[in-house]
Amino acid sequence: MEQRKNPRLEVDQAITVTILGGRAVGVGFPAVVRNASGVGLGLEMAEPVAPGTALKIEFEDLLLLGEVVYTRPLENSTLVGVRLRETLRGFAELARACQVYSAQPYSVEQS
């Protein structure tokens, strides 16, 4: 029987993950969101990431900050459990608003 406080949804979304501490600071890695809940994500990544590592997760117009809470080996990859800490969205809308109030055009760059 499922005993989680927050139900998980199965997902298959390609994303970019940036490690904010540890061996590869600032390098973006491809990953796939495999499941999501209101408080966390299950990411499939090529390499394990140590628990306690801070991550920046990006896709489309969304930026998430989280912390690795576990890693679990899969057949050819690793499942990385992430507890979400912050969610930021609306960067495209912010860029449009800045254009209205500035003579300099702004662009939203995605990594």
Alpha helices (H) in the chain, listed in sequence order: 91-100
> What is the pLDDT, as a whole number, of residue 56?
92
> What is the pLDDT, as a whole number, of residue 1?
46
DSSP annotation of 6 reads S
- The pTM assigned to this predicted structure is 0.74
What is the C-alpha separation between 19 and 15, in angstroms, rounded? Answer: 13
What tokens does 73 get? Answer: 């080996």
- Residue 65: strand pairing partners: 56, 86
> What is the pLDDT, as a whole number, of residue 83?
96
> What is the pLDDT, as a whole number, of residue 99?
72
Q: Which residues of the chain have pLDDT under 50?
A: 1
What is the C-alpha separation between 23 and 27, in angstroms, rounded? Answer: 10
